[in-house]
Structure 1
Amino acid sequence: MSIMNKEQISILTAPFLHHTFAYGLDSIEANGFRSIELWGASPHFCLDDDTPEGHTARIREINQMLKDRGLKMTVFHPEQCRQYPINIASPIPYVRNYSINMMKQYLEDTAAFETDKMMLHPGWEYVDSPSEDNFLRLVESVQILSEKAEELGIVMVMEEMSAAVSLFARDLSHLEKLIKSVNSPWVKAGLDLIQAENNAETISDFCSRLGLPAHVHFADRKEGYAALGKGDFAFAGRLEELEQLGYKDTISLSLWGADFYKDPDEALRACADWFRFRS
């Protein structure tokens, strides 16, 4: 079965940040998608939003909301960069330890959501003060987290990110260095097709250096992430190439950016229409 089958595509929930979580799930269900990648950010789901008891109750509530709509969660993607003081590579011991402990809790949450993948971001270093020590501190942090991941049976996925987010994984070479330095079966490389395109990298480049990805993010492309059919990116061909290479793992439609916040349902309807016209 083609990985471009709509029912095999998970929807990243980030575009619904300024809507209620129930609205987002209703939109995903109404547009014919069957799974989500939960973006763990306030106000939908964040460790600091509630007491420990309330946090546990919120997990149960989200699981029930998914069940009620016939949806499932394939990946948990806790926010780690843009809004919160989380940096597992921080030179400040308090910040680093706080960040590691938060990611350990999010690994527990991943298991509680009955999925086995969590996106992990590499943190960041100062642009004007890069060093190998910073990188080694990051590697050690990820290795510490990999022990918790192994205990829970969770795969942590790390992928290329914009240099504005993290210099540690700004292109394939840096991601490869990170994954191979951590050297854990519980830490695997994911493929963000938009970031790869921005860096003029091919799927063959990725697979020859890191093997098949553990997870894939895709969208159309037009000065960033765009709804399907609204950009200039041959994403369908990229996905078909992955399929020909034997990729059968998880894939998420990722509509990042504040442009989607006002009316995320419009963008999701456009994506659903793209699938309908393609079939």
Structure 2
Amino acid sequence: MPLLKREQVAGMNIHYMRYSLDTFLDAQMAAGIQSTEFWAGAPHFYLDAKTYANCKDLKKKITRKGLKLKVFTPENCMYQYQFAASKPDFFQKSYEYFSNGLKAAAELECPIMQCNSGWGYMDEDREEAWKRTGEMLSRLTSLAEKEGITLAMESLRPEESNLVITLKDAKRMFDEINHAHFKILIDTTAIGVAGESLQDWFDVFGENIIHAHFIDGNPYGHLIWGDGSRNLEEDLIVLKNNGYTGCLGQEITDERYFLNPAAHDERN
């Protein structure tokens, strides 16, 4: 039996940020990709603390190309909004931004929205930032339940965060949120950088793992399969042995792919 089904591979549009949305959708069709993890960032989708783009138009375009929208991912690394925002007004604006993400996901009938822990200032008490993240994710999870969406939290690399960057951190946050609409996203790059394995994560979270950013790396890099040194076949066997049925999001962010993303998706 195959280690994964074709529909489990979820193309992502983040490396198409210098191209139109239509180009991305056409490229997915040409590559035979059937599912998508939609990166809700400019220029493909407008989302801020006050408003968001017309979801009917987006849904129509995705459906016409024969794609299924599996995960909605508001931009949360390059924009000012983040989950551990510090000042009260910044925190509220970030909450409103991610709330609009949940509302958009609901309108798009997308069952999962990606999230992470955000980051605290390096010169503040880490526990203070941790508390802000807990409050943010708790509030968002309550809204997610009302909207019929599940949040999936990934770990980050030390260069991106000082909060959830390890399996131990993820377990602590997961236990503190403690909600049926709050689950786990495994990211092969972050896990590789932390020196952990996919099996480590399944041993702790099991069926609570509902999505994956499944990319190659050295261990750094969000690379096309085969461009790094990670043993992806071994990872696929781990997924299969643990009964994983979620998607494998192609979070390809290395700038080497930005010039001709369609060719790289085809190769992938």
Please tell me the TM-score bracket, short chain as reference. Answer: over 0.9
Q: Does 1:30 align with 2:30?
A: yes
Q: Note the 1:180-191 alignment, pairs <5 A.
A: 180-191=175-186
Distance 1:253 1:44 in 2: 17
State which of 101, 108, 124 in structure 1 corresponds to 2:103: 108
Describe the SS at the equivalent of 1:221: coil
The aligned counterpart of 2:212 is 216
- Relative to the length of structure 1, the TM-score reads 0.90
Q: Any idea what SS the aligned residue of 2:175 has?
A: helix
CA deviations over 1:181-239 (Å, ceiling 9, x no partner) = 11111111111112112211112211222223111111222441221222211112212
1:262 aligns with 2:262: no
2:86 corresponds to which of 91, 110, 119: 91
Match of residue 228 from structure 2: 231
Q: Partners in 2 of 1:88 and 1:206 — Cα distance?
A: 22
Poorly superposed stretches of 4+, deviation over 4 Å: none
Bigger fraction of residues in helix: 1
Mapped partners of 2:53, 2:225: distance in 1: 35
**One-letter amino acid of the structure 2 residue matched with residue 43 of structure 1:** P
Q: CA deviation at 1:3?
A: 5.0
The secondary structure found in structure 2 opposite 1:215 is: strand
Further displaced range: 219-228 or 209-218: 219-228
Instruction: Give the Cα separation in 2 of the matches to 1:19 and 1:67.
Output: 20
CA contact (8 A) 1:229 1:270 kept: no
In structure 1, how many angstroms separate the alpha carbons of the residues matched to 2:2 and 2:32?
A: 16
Greater mean alpha carbon deviation, residues 127-136 or residues 141-150: 127-136
Are positions 1:196 and 2:204 aligned together?
no
Aligned to 2:20: 20
In 2, Cα distance between equivalents of 1:255 and 1:229? 13
Q: Percent identity?
A: 24
In structure 1, stretches of 5+ residues that fail to align are 272-279
1:117 corresponds to 2:135: no
Deviation per CA, 1:242-271: give whole Å up to 9, x if none. Answer: 111111122212212222211111211111
What is the Cα deviation at residue 133 of structure 1?
2.2
Question: SS in structure 2 opposite 1:77?
Answer: strand
Structure 1 counterpart of 2:153, which letter? M
Choose which of 36, 59, 66 in structure 1 pairs with 2:62: 66
Q: How many pairs align?
A: 266
1:249 aligns with 2:235: no
Matched, 1:155 2:150: yes
Secondary structure, counterpart of 1:137 in structure 2: helix
Tell whether the 8 Å contact from 2:126 to 2:163 is kept in structure 1 after alignment: no
Bigger mean CA offset, 189-198 vs 69-78: 189-198
Residue 164 (str. 1) matches residue 164 (str. 2): no
Match of 1:129? 124
